[in-house]
């Protein structure tokens, strides 16, 4: 089956005065129908840059230097990088809906929620107000909101959680095949986070769309994801299924991320943050970008940046020449690592 | 470990002020209109304050050459008493610019002090002061100034400047107050152990540097406002001081009906041009200032 | 404090009355929190403070107009001091015998009844009448000029922001800066001396005055056309004088609005650029400018003193200039108060308009539920 989205060797640069910032480098991944992929990384890892490029909404200073973004639906396959402007506008939201980070400011403050629903619907050819209204009601019900109250309201009258739900409802308006969520729960309190994650899980099962979930929070992403991709310094460092990543990580960065997740149950301690900070994306070192923070770095690591290579489990790749060593180390602490999932 | 080290500058031993002045000029040169404005300001300052030293007052105006059109002898023609217009232009900027400078200084001073005090003291005092500022901002300024001048009859620079600054402080005062309020919050949270004295001290040593850009921009804007107002007052004859003054030339032109007299065109047009070019220089300069200071403010 | 006996209960109930009348009263008092009520209150206060200051300036300053008038009247021995005093007092509608505070109160009372005193120069003519005869003409020219400059300026500013750093943007921005630097009365004067006298492109003598003689007032096309003909120059001046401000202001506001998250979010939803430009960017960018409408009007009206003189347009500016020349203080005071009232009302209208346009103001805003 052709994947819904296929990203091949995507590279994106930002123009700055100091020189081009290589924000995204040689990123490749596939998303199958109905699959949820989580992209995990810290700030500056390039995940948002990657995400906005998938709907070609990058700022003017960004430039795709290489690669392709192939989207496939029942009828055709298009390359988002080259598709025409009006087809792109159709693609946005009806095929692929993106819910931004800081959803709190995703709404026009001076018009009410109904208008914003209607605007979206009308932009995609729905003309009958009654039909739009019926659909809006249906969607708001689906996210457990009171349509009568919400549609009349203005954005500032809704709480962060409510706005996030409205955005999720809105994103389902045209029944897209793919929904991209960039840090959907970051700005919310923990109870609301829980509610949103549960909601997303239910909707995913019910409606069957593919989802890209971008976050820096491993445990939240793990709940919804089938597969996970960790990004570091603009490139993919590990690609695996959720269980593989948690039980059998093969890149030191992934291990570091896992160790940084605090455990609710079990012994205290062994929560470590990764020392150091990400590299300068303008002047990248010749070898592996993770060396300064990697406990397993050796001289050979600095020769050239490692390729993304398959490891010992199927559909699992890591960008590390010492993945076997990682495997050995993790193997002995496998129980500890696995406990994280139980408590997340 | 992370970013490559920036190349070290060769040892520069210029004092910090000169370095920042050079940096400022460099930034300004990237904005041509601002640079033109700056040059214009310098030009007018030289014209108004330095040129009169070299260009003497006319002693014997040629009474036979009334309202002459521009010629080699009189580059801008003459007025109704045969006096050279260009000479009057050279002499006439000093008062206007001086009053503008004093007014801008007073306005900025009042606004900064009131704004800071109002924010620090808070409570009813603050509410009243803000209310007063709001009222001052609402009333039509020129009309009020005219009525005040008609009643109070300012007779010298300082009096005029005082009258002009009686209304101009309100806008900046509110901005200063807003800034001090945000800083006040921060200090309360972080340094509850500060003595009240310490708080005031910190605030005054921290706001002013942060507000330098606001204040400079407002100073220049206050100058443009002062020029607008004083020229109007002088043309109306409400400010009865003698002396050379561009606006006074227009007052005389008005009373002599020179506006409708074709030959008197240069006598009327020259002071207008001088004032407009001065205002234009100030406005272009201030636009460039806003542009220079803003990106930094926005990133913070 | 718990009520333990019926007497206690009554006492407690008296402290917190809950009769329908009382709760209605509290309900009405609650309205004072409403921005509309607060705006009206502020408007009142502004006019009140201005009138008070005028009163004290006129009464208490050394060399104040009343004393001057008395001197003038007694100069040639035409009147006794007492007669002159009462004459001056009546012209100002102030009773000089009463203590200052009572004078003030009756002054304010007179104002509330629309009694602004009587002209010094044309004895016995009520100031209110004088002002009302001329004020509408000025409000008409300023208002029309400002509305035109706002609509066109906002549109141009939006255009400039969308075409940032292109030639047309540079022209609009530079042009805006240049015209905003020219004092409005100079625009009028330049029209007179350059376009009128020097180049003879504009028939300034014909365009003098607010109306041509011989045309009957009324809603006839003839009269309206004539009025517009005469008002064309003042309107053009106010238009040009304020246009630059709107162009630059809207350009900067639009640039800010374009950086907002919701604009990108709207694009991500596939909305057309046109819809985004009007309903998402435009509507948000124009909001801060609406608040400046009234202030700009106040600034513009000031220039009318000279502008109307140059065009001989019989508005409030021309009348004020005459009053200043003739030292007709009651008329000056009356004009100041009425113009302030007009500007304050304009401010009020602008505030109300703003609260209608921005749903975040004037509503019980705030998050409810999760």
What one-character DSSP code corresponds to residue A262? P
What is the pLDDT at residue C5? 52
pLDDT tens, chain B, 300 aa long: 444 445 555 555 667 778 878 888 888 788 888 889 999 999 999 988 888 787 777 666 666 666 667 666 667 777 777 677 787 888 888 888 998 999 999 999 999 888 888 887 878 888 889 988 988 888 888 888 888 888 777 777 788 888 888 888 888 898 888 887 877 676 654 554 455 555 566 666 666 667 778 888 899 999 999 999 999 999 988 886 667 788 888 888 888 887 887 777 888 888 999 999 999 999 999 988 888 877 643 332
pLDDT band with cut points at 50, 70 and 90 for residue C14 = low
Chain A hits for C367, Cβ within 8 Å: 157-160, 162
Tell me which chains share at least 3 CB pairs under 8 Å with chain C. A, B
CB-based contact C363 A110, cutoff 8 Å: no
Chain C hits for B140, Cβ within 8 Å: 298-299, 301-302, 339-340, 343
Question: What are the φ and ψ backbone dihedral angles of A234, each rounded to 5 degrees?
Answer: 85, 0
Chain B hits for A283, Cβ within 8 Å: 3-4
Alpha-helical regions (H) of C31-119: 35-60, 65-75, 81-92, 100-112
Q: Give tens-digit pLDDT for C24-35.
A: 655 555 555 666
Chain A hits for C284, Cβ within 8 Å: 108-110
What is the pLDDT at residue C2? 45
pLDDT band with cut points at 50, 70 and 90 for residue C6 = low
Nearest to B147 among C181, C299, C332 (CB): C332
What 3-state class would DSSP assign to A80?
coil
Tell me which chains share at least 3 CB pairs under 8 Å with chain B. A, C
Q: What is the rounded distance in angstroms from the CA atom of residue B292 to the CA atom of residue A341? A: 52
**Which has the higher per-residue pLDDT, A202 or B179?**
A202
Q: Give tens-digit pLDDT for C219-242.
A: 777 888 888 888 889 999 999 999
CB-based contact A57 C267, cutoff 8 Å: yes
Strands A77-79 and A309-310: unpaired
Whether B33 has its CB under 8 Å from any CB of chain C: the answer is: yes
Chain B hits for C347, Cβ within 8 Å: 138
CA distance C35 to chain B (A): 15
Cα–Cα distance list, C66 to A15, C89, C120 (Å): 72, 7, 10
What global pTM score does this model have?
0.83
Whether C181 has its CB under 8 Å from any CB of chain A: the answer is: no
CB-based contact A283 B1, cutoff 8 Å: no
pLDDT band with cut points at 50, 70 and 90 for residue C105 = confident
Whether B152 has its CB under 8 Å from any CB of chain C: the answer is: yes
CB-based contact A123 C270, cutoff 8 Å: yes
- The number of C-alpha atoms within 13 Å of A190 and in the hemisphere containing its C-beta is 1
What is the pLDDT at residue C21? 59
Alpha-helical regions (H) of chain B: 16-29, 32-45, 51-54, 85-91, 93-121, 123-138, 141-152, 157-168, 170-190, 196-210, 212-235, 246-255, 265-299
**Which has the higher per-residue pLDDT, B205 or C144?**
C144
Note whether A150 and A167 are within 8 A (CB): no
CB-based contact A110 C266, cutoff 8 Å: no
Does position C168 have pLDDT exceeding 70, yes or no? yes
Whether B195 has its CB under 8 Å from any CB of chain A: the answer is: no
Whether A205 has its CB under 8 Å from any CB of chain B: the answer is: no
Closest-CA residue of C relative to A192 is: C370
Chain A hits for C272, Cβ within 8 Å: 89, 123
> Which residues are CB-neighbours of C96 under 8 A, at least 6 positions away?
C66, C85, C86, C88, C89, C103
Chain B hits for A280, Cβ within 8 Å: 2-4
Q: Give tens-digit pLDDT for C208-220.
A: 777 777 666 777 7
DSSP B113-148: HHHHHHHHH-HHHHHHHHHHHHHHHHS-HHHHHHHH
pLDDT > 70 in chain C, percent: 82
Cβ neighbours around B172 below 10 Å, total? 25
Q: Give tens-digit pLDDT for A25-73.
A: 999 999 999 999 999 988 878 888 999 999 998 888 899 999 999 999 8
> Which residues are CB-neighbours of A86 under 8 A, at least 6 positions away?
none
Whether C214 has its CB under 8 Å from any CB of chain A: the answer is: no
Complete edge-to-edge strand list for the sheet that includes strand A210-215 = A96-99, A178-182, A210-215, A36-40, A227-232, A235-241, A317-318, A309-310
Average pLDDT of chain A to the nearest whole number = 86
Q: Give tens-digit pLDDT for C64-96.
A: 667 777 777 777 667 777 777 777 777 766 666
- The number of C-alpha atoms within 13 Å of B58 and in the hemisphere containing its C-beta is 21
Across the range C233-259, mean pLDDT stands at: 93
Q: What is the rounded distance in angstroms from the CA atom of residue C321 to the CA atom of residue C306? A: 8
Chain B, residues 280-299, CB within 8 A of chain C, namely: 280, 282-284, 287
Lowest-confidence pick of B283-287, C119-123, C318-322, C334-338: C119-123
Across the range A112-118, mean pLDDT stands at: 92
What 3-state class would DSSP assign to B239?
coil
Chain A hits for C287, Cβ within 8 Å: 110
Q: Give tens-digit pLDDT for A302-330.
A: 888 888 889 888 889 999 988 888 888 87
Q: Give tens-digit pLDDT for A227-260.
A: 999 999 999 999 999 988 888 889 989 888 887 7
């Amino acid at each position: 089956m052709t994947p819904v989205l296929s990203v091949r060797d995507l590279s994106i640069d930002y123009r700055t005065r100091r020189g081009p910032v290589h924000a995204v480098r040689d990123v490749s991944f596939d998303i199958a129908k109905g699959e949820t992929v989580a992209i995990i990384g810290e700030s500056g890892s390039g995940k948002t840059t990657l995400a906005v490029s998938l709907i070609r909404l990058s700022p003017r200073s960004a430039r795709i230097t290489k690669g392709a973004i192939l989207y496939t639906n029942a009828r055709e396959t298009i390359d988002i990088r080259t598709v025409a402007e009006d087809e792109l506008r159709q693609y946005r939201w009806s095929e692929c809906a993106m819910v931004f980070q800081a959803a709190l400011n995703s709404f026009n403050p001076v018009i009410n929620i109904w208008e914003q629903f209607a605007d979206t619907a009308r932009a995609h050819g729905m003309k009958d107000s009654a039909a739009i209204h019926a659909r809006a009601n249906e969607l708001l019900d689906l996210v457990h909101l009171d349509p009568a109250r919400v549609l009349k309201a203005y954005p500032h009258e809704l709480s962060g959680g409510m706005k996030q739900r409205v955005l999720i409802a809105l994103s389902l308006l045209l029944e897209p095949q793919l929904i991209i969520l960039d840090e959907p729960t970051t700005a919310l309190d923990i109870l609301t986070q829980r509610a949103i994650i549960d909601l997303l899980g239910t909707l995913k099962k019910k409606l069957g769309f593919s989802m890209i979930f971008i976050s820096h929070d491993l445990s939240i992403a793990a709940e919804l994801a089938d597969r996970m991709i960790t990004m570091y310094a603009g490139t993919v460092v590990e690609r695996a299924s959720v269980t593989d990543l948690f039980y059998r990580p093969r890149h030191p960065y992934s291990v570091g991320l896992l160790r940084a997740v605090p455990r609710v149950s079990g012994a205290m301690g062994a929560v470590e943050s990764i020392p150091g900070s990400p590299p300068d994306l303008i002047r990248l070192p010749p070898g592996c970008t993770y060396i300064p923070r990697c406990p397993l770095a050796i001289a050979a690591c600095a020769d050239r940046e490692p390729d993304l290579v398959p490891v010992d489990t199927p559909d699992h790749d890591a960008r590390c020449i010492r993945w076997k060593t990682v495997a050995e180390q993790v193997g002995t602490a496998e129980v500890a690592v696995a406990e994280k999932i139980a408590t997340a | 470990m992370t970013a490559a080290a920036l190349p070290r500058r060769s040892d520069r031993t210029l004092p910090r002020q000169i370095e920042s002045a050079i940096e400022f000029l460099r930034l300004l040169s990237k904005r041509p209109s601002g640079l033109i404005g700056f040059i214009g300001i310098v030009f007018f300052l030289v014209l108004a304050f330095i040129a009169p030293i070299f260009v003497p007052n006319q002693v014997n105006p040629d009474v036979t050459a009334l309202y002459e059109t521009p010629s080699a002898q009189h580059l801008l023609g003459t007025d109704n008493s045969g006096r050279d217009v260009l000479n009057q232009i050279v002499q006439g900027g000093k008062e206007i610019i001086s009053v503008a400078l004093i007014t801008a200084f007073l306005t900025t001073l009042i606004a900064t002090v009131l704004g800071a005090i109002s924010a620090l003291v808070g409570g009813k005092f603050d509410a009243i002061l803000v209310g007063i500022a709001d009222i001052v901002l609402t009333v039509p300024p020129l009309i009020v100034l005219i009525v005040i001048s008609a009643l109070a009859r300012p007779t010298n620079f300082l009096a005029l400047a005082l009258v002009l600054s009686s209304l101009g402080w309100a806008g900046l005062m509110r901005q200063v107050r807003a800034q001090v309020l945000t800083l006040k919050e921060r200090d309360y949270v972080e340094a509850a152990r500060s003595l009240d004295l310490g708080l005031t001290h910190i605030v005054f040593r921290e706001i002013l540097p942060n507000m330098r850009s606001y204040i400079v921009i407002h100073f220049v804007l206050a100058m443009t406002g002062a020029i607008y107002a004083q020229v109007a007052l002088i043309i109306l004859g409400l400010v009865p001081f003698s002396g050379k003054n561009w606006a006074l030339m227009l007052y005389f032109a008005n009373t002599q009906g020179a506006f409708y007299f074709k030959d008197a065109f240069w006598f009327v047009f020259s002071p207008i041009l001088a004032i407009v070019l001065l205002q234009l220089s100030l406005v272009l300069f201030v636009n460039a200032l806003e542009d220079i200071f803003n990106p930094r403010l926005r990133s913070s | 404090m718990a009520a333990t006996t019926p007497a206690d209960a009554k006492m407690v109930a008296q402290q917190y009355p809950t009769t329908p009348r009382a709760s209605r009263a509290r309900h009405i008092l609650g309205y004072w929190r409403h921005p509309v009520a607060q705006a009206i209150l502020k408007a009142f206060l502004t006019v009140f403070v201005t009138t008070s200051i005028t009163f004290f300036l006129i009464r208490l300053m050394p060399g104040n107009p009343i004393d001057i008038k008395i001197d003038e009247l007694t100069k040639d021995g035409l009147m006794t001091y007492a007669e002159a005093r009462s004459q001056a007092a009546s012209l100002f509608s102030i009773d000089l015998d009463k203590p200052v505070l009572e004078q003030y109160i009756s002054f304010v009372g007179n104002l509330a009844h629309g009694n602004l005193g009587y002209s010094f120069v044309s004895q016995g003519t009520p100031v209110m009448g004088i002002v009302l005869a001329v004020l509408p003409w000025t409000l008409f020219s300023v208002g029309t000029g400002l509305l035109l400059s706002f609509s066109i300026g906002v549109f141009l500013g939006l255009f400039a922001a969308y075409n940032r750093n292109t030639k047309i943007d540079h022209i609009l921005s530079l042009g805006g800066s240049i015209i905003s630097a020219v004092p409005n009365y100079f625009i009028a004067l330049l029209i007179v001396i350059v376009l009128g006298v020097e180049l003879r492109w504009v028939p300034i003598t014909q365009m003098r005055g607010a109306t041509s003689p011989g045309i009957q007032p009324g809603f006839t096309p003839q009269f309206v056309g004539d009025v517009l003909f005469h008002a064309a120059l003042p309107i053009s001046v106010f238009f040009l004088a304020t246009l630059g401000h709107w162009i630059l202001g809207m350009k900067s506001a639009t640039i800010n609005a374009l950086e907002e998250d919701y604009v990108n979010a709207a694009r991500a939803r596939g909305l057309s650029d046109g819809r985004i430009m009007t309903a998402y960017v435009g509507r948000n960018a124009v909001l801060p400018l609406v608040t400046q409408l009234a202030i700009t009007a106040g600034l513009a009206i000031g220039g009318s003193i000279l502008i109307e003189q140059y065009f001989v347009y019989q508005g409030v500016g021309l009348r004020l200039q005459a009053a200043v020349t003739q030292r007709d203080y009651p008329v000056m005071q009356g004009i100041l108060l009425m113009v302030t009232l007009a500007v304050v009302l304009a401010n009020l209208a602008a505030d109300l308009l703003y609260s209608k346009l921005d749903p975040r103001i004037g509503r019980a805003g705030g998050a409810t539920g999760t």
